[in-house]
A and B are shown apart, each in its own frame.
Chain A
Amino acid sequence: NAGVMQNPRHLVRRRGQEARLRCSPMKGHSHVYWYRQLPEEGLKFMVYLQKENIIDESGMPKERFSAEFPKEGPSILRIQQVVRGDSAAYFCASSPRGQGAYTEAFFGQGTRLTVV
Chain B
Amino acid sequence: DAKTTQPTSMDCAEGRAANLPCNHSTISGNEYVYWYRQIHSQGPQYIIHGLKNNETNEMASLIITEDRKSSTLILPHATLRDTAVYYCIVRVEGDKIIFGKGTRLHILP
Binding site for B on A (CB under 8 A): 4, 33, 35, 42-45, 48, 56, 89, 91, 93, 97-102, 104-110
Contacts and interface: CB of A to CB of B under 8 A. Distances in A.
B35 to A, nearest CB: 10
A42 B96 contact: no
Contact of A99 (B38, B43, B44, B95): B95
Interface of B: 32, 34, 38, 41-46, 49, 51, 91-102
A7 B45 CA distance: 19
B96 A108 contact: no
B93 A104 contact: no
A106 B96 CA distance: 13
B42 A42 contact: no
Minimum-distance CB pairs A-B, first 5: A98-B94, A107-B43, A104-B46, A43-B99, A100-B93
B51 A101 contact: yes
A104 B37 CA distance: 13
